[in-house]
Amino acid sequence: MESQKNISEFILLGLSYDPNIQLFCFVLFLLCYVSILVGNLLILISIRCSSLFHQPMYYFLSHLSSMDICYTSSVTPKLISDLLMKTKSISYDSCMLQVFSMHFFGGIEIFILTPMAFDRCVAICKPLHYMVILNRTRCNLLIFAAWLGGAAHSFPQLFMAILLPFCGPNEIDHYFCDIFPLLKVACTDTYIIGALVVANSGMVALVTFAVLVVSYVIIIFTLRNHSTEGRRKALSTCGSHVTVVALFFIPSIFIYLRPPTTFPEDKVFALFYTIIAPMFNPLIYTLRNTEIQNAMRKVWCHRLFFVVVVIWAKV
């Protein structure tokens, strides 16, 4: 633990050394981050201010949107600011905080996707008992369980990172602090910790993904007894959730469910679950969902009308 004090900061090597590429990435990721904030806030406020909030599917979706904002905000602002810096440094304490916050909010997001799949499964397989099975008390318990799952996943990651001794070099070949890149610069044998990380992050991603796949297999099996129109509507509703799951889980499983090592391609795959998936979530859930679109029109048109009236009254 004493050797750890020799390192007060880490140097993030980022995505590229080319200034032109860095400038392009700055503009691109700034636009992505703004779209993430605007898109998820629109969904979150539209659901909270409409009757959709009382429906389990949209209740879970509002929590997913809030986790998207928190999760990407633990990584993306630092990435954007570093793209303008010559030296991309991060303090030891900030690095540990980033490890914790990323896995905490990311874990909650993963565990929220599970009750969302359960919600679709109940809606299609047990439509007459839907509101009884997924009452508000049970929905609250599922969200609470997601938060507990996120904490149970992230605290071991933080403890393992804190226990690593660092005595040089301090260059991390990534654009954010994560446990695998930290293992590479630790000055100790990291085999056991690496195996524990795989058992934690890798198995969480794999088991959760397997549960989601099973839920959709059950849905597809149940849809055999539905009409063609019923199957089309159900699959359309589930399609958005499947897309989100694929964008988030496939890169995560590739990175975390393997021997503890790093590759240059990891940074590209990490972009999918830190930026691309949170950015596409609002688009995926709104473009094919008329209820969300109608709620957004009512909520925001009403607020725009109120603002116009207030301005007109003051004039």
259 or 97, which is more confident?
97
According to DSSP, the β-strands at 171-172 and 9-12 are: parallel
Q: What is the pLDDT of residue 307?
A: 52
Q: What is the pLDDT of residue 236?
A: 67
pLDDT above 50 for 309: no
Q: What is the pLDDT of residue 305?
A: 53
Dihedral sign computed on CA atoms, order 15, 17, 21, 26 = positive
pLDDT above 80 for 213: yes
Cβ atoms of 13 and 88 closer than 8 Å: yes
User: Mean pLDDT, the chain, as a whole number?
Assistant: 83
Cβ atoms of 26 and 84 closer than 8 Å: yes
Q: What is the pLDDT of residue 312?
A: 54
Residue range 149-179, pLDDT digits in tens? 999 999 999 998 898 888 877 888 888 998 8
310 or 121, which is more confident?
121
pTM of the predicted structure, to 2 decimals: 0.87
- What is the number of other CB atoms lying within 10 angstroms of the CB of residue 25? 21
Average pLDDT value for residue range 126-153: 91
- The whole-angstrom separation of Cα 306 and Cα 227 is 44
User: Which candidate, 184, 146, 188, places its Cα nearest to that of 163?
Assistant: 188
167 or 274, which is more confident?
274
Average pLDDT value for residue range 183-197: 85
User: Which candidate, 119, 112, 114, 147, places its Cα nearest to that of 134?
Assistant: 119
Average pLDDT value for residue range 289-306: 68
